Every structure is written in structure tokens, then in C-alpha cells.
Amino acid sequence: MKMILVRELKKETNKYIDKKVKIAGWVRNNRAQKEFGFLSINDGTTLSTIQVVYDQELTNFKEIGKINVGASVLIEGVVIATPTRKQAFEIKASKVTLFADVDEDYPIQPKRHSREFLRENAHLRMRTNLFNAVFRVRSVAAHAIHKFFQDQGFVYVHTPLITASDGEGAGEMFTVTTLPLEKVPIENGKVNYKEDFFARQTHLTVTGQLQAEAYAQAFRDVYTFGPTFRAEKSQTQRHASEFWMIEPEMAFCDLKGMMKVAEEMVKYIIKDVLDNCPEEMELFNSFVEKGLKDRLTKVLESKFKMITHEEAISNLLNSGVKFETKPQYNGDLAREHEKYLTDKYGPVFVINWPKEIKAFYMRLNDDNKTVAAVDLLVPGSGELIGGSQREERLPYLLKRMEEMKVPKEDLWWYLDLRRFGGSTSSGFGLGFERMIMYLTGVENIRDVIPFPRTPRNAEF
Amino acid sequence: MKMILVRELKKETNKYIDKKVKIAGWVRNNRAQKEFGFLSINDGTTLSTIQVVYDQELTNFKEIGKINVGASVLIEGVVIATPTRKQAFEIKASKVTLFADVDEDYPIQPKRHSREFLRENAHLRMRTNLFNAVFRVRSVAAHAIHKFFQDQGFVYVHTPLITASDGEGAGEMFTVTTLPLEKVPIENGKVNYKEDFFARQTHLTVTGQLQAEAYAQAFRDVYTFGPTFRAEKSQTQRHASEFWMIEPEMAFCDLKGMMKVAEEMVKYIIKDVLDNCPEEMELFNSFVEKGLKDRLTKVLESKFKMITHEEAISNLLNSGVKFETKPQYNGDLAREHEKYLTDKYGPVFVINWPKEIKAFYMRLNDDNKTVAAVDLLVPGSGELIGGSQREERLPYLLKRMEEMKVPKEDLWWYLDLRRFGGSTSSGFGLGFERMIMYLTGVENIRDVIPFPRTPRNAEF
């Protein structure tokens, strides 16, 4: 008898009613009574469990009653229709085999565990409903992103993780080295990087954008989807030291064209996850954030608004609201500002930011004060996407690099792109974990990354 | 007039014949004659160019004649059917606008460039036919892998890149640190990692397998697809310091079941790329490896063979061939051995390897000498995949870790998987770049990675 997946069994139940099947899975619950008992079995292919009934006729009835939560088992039995109950079927066992037992200190018991406790058991927490749902949604959303771009002919580019250049011209970066830390070779008070693996100083990348731009000047539409790193010591719910980013880059595309793609992408991901993870989304809607599904459906139906940064600040100043941080025409938006704006507008693109607070590669607008940058703010999460039209004019770019002290020598190849037929180019970055938090209502980034890395934490 | 992509134009040419269109792209060639001229334009959406005819009627005819290779241009014109020529159509320009010019030292001219030269111009080389084809195939193959696994319900897991454990129990790893290299804090002759970012020693991962195993014990079928790192100083055509790996892991699955999935996956990728990249595969077949398409089609039609490591060695010893490296029953297979075996068998799984030369987590066979490991050898490339059934029996696993001096403390969570319902589990690793080399016939790994990292080289 071939083993069957619970997913198949649920999908085509009618095909299997009154037939004998064989399944393997893990025990989520075992309620042994005097003459019969019930096993809740999860085989990993669906969020919900299926019920297996066992009775005295089984020669190992007593042993089955003692099987612990967490053990893996093999079940043979007949699929019985249970039309009056919540689950459409159960399995009447003809054979139950213990595959692997579980030690007494198994932490994942059928009761409520705190998220902190489960973080300390990150190797086991996806055996709970909440984390099972989170990490299945993460997988489905990742695939949705690939489908969205590949179906439109975007070329997926694996940009390098180890890099000698600093894409953002700021930010704290991790050093990558093979020098012996006990005995770093020093010459005239400085590290002799000639002896290091790459014969120069190298870091973990903070963005793949600059390299993606090079590819956009050959393939027109490209995207990255890979890990990026920040060595920031801040411990917040929204920051991790290692996370995944999606960075599309489009040649012959201006800021407006870019916003169109960003809006379509966000809606595509939401729709795909709602369609393909109904059980999981129902769980988040019931137990994580009431009204989640409504919130997401509304996004699907809305047309994203667009305002300038200046309009945003005027709005905030004229709102009559007392903000903790005073809105400023040359300043960034605080979380409370973002909340006010998304309450008022729904999902909204804020464009044309003051150049002082944005990166060197963003295109200077004709006002000489602002750059063609955009943030997408969404209800509940604030900033979801940041992007810009790139400065394609070499003299302007060089001037900004000088003003912002970005080293030109390392970026000779990036400057080359402007010398060799460089077209208009625009792109944005989506923090993948931000998107998962937005989709699930889960508020701590540590709870949407399989094995999160944060300051003082690289366990597992 | 809306801009149209060359890809659309080629796909639905009939729809556009005698219609006016607007395209943007880069000049690959410009042949100006006295009364008319031809521009070869590539817009990045297809490998091949399209021909644009311009003539004296255009007011800027002389200027167009001077547009250099590499410049970006906007073209408006009418699509003309050219049924007697190789290309089904050309565009008769009514307007040609220079978008961005190109400096005189543009390295990518319409002539043959050496691959070494193009490696030094990795930010531009995908503007040549060969590298354009390679990196489009890389993108399509990556998507094929996601489709293959997702369509079967596998959950995609992002395993951590920064890690405190050493998955292979060997191998040279990159150190990740934020300690100041000029002044590393030393206590009693040892680095004081308490002051480092993660408050412990951390590296870049060599494999996501161990973490994937944890996820397989919750989701049954999972896969990783992410970057991995090796700090090996060897400079070979087949090794890079940073590369991408695919690592599926399946619970309730033995070695035989794993091999079935591996065979299906390899065939799926080949078929998908042959179907979706016909132009690119034709280019490789003509200019990189004659007979490439035949070789790949043969793989699709074959049933992969299976032999034991012992049989492989006997085969080699009895072959009458004088190998440079003598085949040994307790030894690894050299490239020349792999070649002999694939010449004889075609794609072949070699199973049951001597435990001494394999990793600690592989399941010990009943002979106490070999482990349930497998390498897939393929004609032309040798080893493409390595995998194993994992040791699920805790005492056996602990014994192997002791014998191989793998630190148990860091891997407490990995050992937990054996204590808490750990089922049979098997998985394999596919080096993504190896697969791309196999698909394209390109022999140097540096030529299938956008910006390769190798010893002493982290440019771009």
C-alpha cells in the first residue's frame, strides 16, 4: 500500500471514503479511553490535523494509548465519512505503529506556549499551529514573488553577499574575514588586508541594488531575492541582523512606472496567499489579528494614493494632532506620522523626499531640493517599500557622492553604467519579513524568520 | 504610443505588421550607408536583436549614423514583414532618439572578447550574447526549481547564513564579526567573543541542511535555496567562495525515495530550460558545446542507473584502464573515475559509501562499514548531487560525532530532533552553479555567477 499525504486525502476525500490508506505523521494529541481512543495526527502537509480512531480490536491497543505527543507514527486504516462533524472524515485504524518515541521533556505540549518560550525552541516551534502557519505562508509568498516577476519576463539575479563596496553609503556592516582574530596582521597601525582571503577588506552586503542596476542595463527588467545584513545593535520588533530582500530594477522606467509595478506586486502577493493558504489566513484572522482578512481584502480593492513628502508634512502639521515627534519638511516620517497618513489615505506612496535624508544614487528633481524617491506606507505596518528613480547623469551622481563622502574608487563599475548607454532606471526594495508580518499580523520579526539573528543571538 | 517589448513583438508579430510601434533598447551594431542605415537593437527581453532601418528622410539621419555601439535609444517606426529573411520582420524608423550616449572606451564591441577580459568587466559582460544567454538560463532554472518543489507542496525554508555551528564538521569557513580588527579584544591569549556582535564566534554557513532537517520534522517535505560559502583557497574552474545551493529534505523518506525525487528534479529543470530558452540553448549548442542539446535530451529519456560504491570500485579496477589515481574501496572517486562510470552507465547514482570519507550525520548501514550516502554522477560534469539518509538513531549519531570530533554542545538542538519523534529523513544538495554549467556547457564556474567571489577576488 502506497503512503498517502494528508493534503491529498483532504483534497480528494471522496476518492478515498471506505478505502484503506496508509499515512505517516506526528501525534499532536492522544485521548485514550477505556475501549477506544483518538489520535490527532499531523503529517506536515496541512495545518490542521486528522483524527484517527483506534479500539480494543488492535492487539497493541494498550501501547497505543501510551503514545506520547510528539512521537512519529505509521497508521493504516479505513477512511470513514463523518458528514455531521467539522472534519469530513476520520480514519479507523487497523494498524498503528510507533515509529519514533519522544523523550519526557518534549517542550511542545498541547497547551498555550509563550512566543518567547517558542523562540528558545526555534528548532521545534513550527510544530505549533501558529508557527506552522507563519512558515507555510512565508514559503507560499516567496513563490508568489517569483511567479509575479518571472511571468512578466524579469530576470532573477543572484547579487553577491560578500562585497567590498557599501551600497547605502552608510550603515553598520559585518566584516567577513579569514584573518586569525588572535593575531591580525597589522602594518603601521592598520590591518594588512593583503593577507586576507580576498586581499582586501570585505563585508556582508546591505543591498543588491547596485549590482542589480548593472543587470537592468542588459536585461531591462530584473529582480533580486536574497539575504541582506545589518550590524545594527538596536533591539526592536522590526529589525533583524539577517533578513531577505526583494529588489526589482527596471531600465527605461521612471518613478511612476516603478510605483505601478510595486502596487501590482503587493496585490499579487496578497491575493496569492489568500487563495493558497485559506486555513492559515483563517487562523491569523481568528487568533493573531481580528479583521486581518478584511484589511487585506480592502488593499486588493483600493487604488493606492500618491502624495509628495511636502504634502505629507503639511497634512501632519495641519492635522491638529499632537505628535511626539514634530513633523518637519526636511525630516523623515516617524511611525506615528505614517499611521496618521495611512489612516487617512489607506496605502499611500509618498514621493519626492528631501535629498539630505536619502541615498546618493537617487535622482535629483528639478527643484534641486528633493529626489525622485518613494516610500509605500500601508495601514498597520507603515513603510513596506522604499524605492527611487536612479540618478543617470554622471556629473550629478559624482557631486552627490562627494557631498555624502561615498568612496568613488570602489564604485568605478557603478559609475561606468552612466558612461555606457545608461538609460533611465528605477527600482525598489521590499523587506520580505515586513511583508510576512503584514500578511500574518505577527508583530515581531523574530517570529517570521526560521532562525532569527539579532544582537547577541545566533543560536541554532 | 505605449512602449512595446521586443519579446512581445517577436511572440505576436502578426498583430503588429504594418503598425506603428515604439521601442527602447541598446545599440548592438550600427551600419550607416550613404542613403540609409541599419541599427541592431537589443532591449534586454530577448537574446537576439531586431533590425531597425533608417533613411535620409529622417531629419537627424547623419546623427543617427554616428550613434555608437552601446548607446541607448528610443525608436518609433512601422513593423515591416520580411518573410524571405531570417528575421520575420524589421522596423522602418520614423523617429530615432539618442537616449544616452556611450564613452569611447566602451569595452563591449561587436567582436570576439576573451572570457578573461569579460570577467574583468562583469558589470557589462551580460551585454554579450554568451553571458546574456547564461544569466537568462540561470534565472529560468532557478524558477524551475521553485516550481518543481512548490507544485508538490514542499515548503521553502530560509535557513540562516550567519551560524555558530559547522554543518559539515569540516571545511574552512569565513569569520563574521564586528570586532575592530585593529584591536581585537584578547583575554588570556584568546579572543573575547563576548564583545562580538552575537556574543559568540560566528561564521558564514556551509550548508542549510541541519536547519532544514528541523523543518522537515514539522512540514515533512521542505527545501532550501540560498547562498553558501567556502573559504577554500583552491583556484579551480569548479570552485567558488560564494555559491547557491538547493537542499531538499524529506521526512518519512529513505535513500531510495530521495533518489527518485533527485532524478525527477534534474529532468524537470532540463525540460523546463529546453522549453523556455530555445534561443539560448541553440547558442550553447552551436558555440559552447556541440551536441549539448542531444546530451540533455538523452538524460531526459534515460532511467538513471544505481550501483554501490563497492561495485563502482570493482568496475574501475577491472576496467583495464590506467587511472592516474588508483581506485580504492575506502576512497573517494576522482574526476577520471567519474568520467569512466558515466561513459559506461550514463547518469548513475553511486550509493553506500565508506563511512570514513562521509559526514557524521549519514545513516550507518548494517554492514557497519558504509553509510546510506549517494552521489549522482552525470556525463560531462561528474558529481552533480550528493545526499544521504540521515542517522535518526541517537546513540549511533553521538558515536559518529565523537569519532569525527564534531562538537556536541553547539548542536544540542540537532540532537533534540532525534529525541523528539524524529522520523526517517533523507535529503540532498544540488550546487546550483554546477547545474548551470551542466545545462549550458560553460566550464568555468566564474562564468555562471553574476559577480563571482574567489580567493583574492571580490571586485564589484
| CA angle, A128 then A43 then B159, to 5° | 60
Q: A-chain residues within 8 Å CB-CB of B108?
A: 420
B221 touches chain A (CB under 8 A): yes
pLDDT digits (tens, 9 = 90+) for A321-336: 999 999 999 999 999 9
* A450 contacts B158? CB cut-off 8 A: yes
CB contact at 8 A, B383 and B430: no
* B146 contacts A198? CB cut-off 8 A: no
Nearest CA in chain A to B409: A460
Query: pLDDT tens digits, chain A, 460 residues: what are they?
Result: 789 999 999 999 999 999 999 999 999 999 999 999 999 999 999 999 999 999 999 999 999 999 999 999 999 999 999 999 988 999 999 999 999 999 999 999 989 999 999 999 999 999 999 999 999 999 999 999 999 999 999 999 999 999 998 656 556 899 999 999 999 999 999 999 999 999 999 999 999 999 999 999 999 999 999 999 999 998 899 999 999 999 999 999 999 999 999 999 999 999 999 999 999 999 999 999 999 999 999 999 999 999 999 999 999 999 999 999 999 999 999 999 999 999 999 999 999 999 999 999 999 999 999 999 999 999 888 899 999 999 999 999 999 999 999 989 989 999 999 999 999 999 999 999 999 999 999 999 999 999 999 999 999 9
* A413 contacts B123? CB cut-off 8 A: yes
* B99 contacts A423? CB cut-off 8 A: yes
* A226 contacts B227? CB cut-off 8 A: yes
* B157 contacts A423? CB cut-off 8 A: no
Contact partners, residue A407, CB within 8 Å, separation at least 6: A166
CB contact at 8 A, A265 and A436: no
Tell me the residue type at A131.
F
* B449 contacts A413? CB cut-off 8 A: no
Extract the C-alpha cell encoding A261: 509595478
Beta strand pairing call for B348-354 and B370-378: antiparallel
| CA angle, A362 then A364 then A368, to 5° | 145
Nearest CA in chain A to B143: A146
pLDDT of residue A26: 98
* A199 contacts B456? CB cut-off 8 A: yes
A460 touches chain B (CB under 8 A): yes
Q: Of all helices (H) and strands (E), which one includes residue B439? A: helix B432-440
A102 touches chain B (CB under 8 A): yes
Looking at the complex, report in whole angstroms how far the Cα of residue A376 sits from the nearest Cα belonging to chain B: 25
Instruction: Find the CB nearest B162 among A3, A158, A242.
Output: A242
Cβ-based neighbour number of residue A407 at 10 Å: 10
pLDDT digits (tens, 9 = 90+) for A203-243: 999 999 999 999 999 999 999 999 999 999 988 999 999 99
Instruction: Give me the residues paired with residue A175 across strands.
Output: A203, B177
Q: Chain-centre distance of CA B140, in angstroms?
A: 11
Nearest CA in chain A to B27: A421
Instruction: Give me the residues paired with residue B244 across strands.
Output: B227
Q: What is the pTM of this model?
A: 0.97
Contact partners, residue B303, CB within 8 Å, separation at least 6: none
Looking at the complex, report in whole angstroms how far the Cα of residue B46 sits from the nearest Cα belonging to chain A: 8
ipTM over 0.90: yes
Residue among A420, A425, A457 with most chain B CBs within 10 A, to mutate: A420
A197 touches chain B (CB under 8 A): yes
- Chains A, B: CB contacts within 8 A come to 324
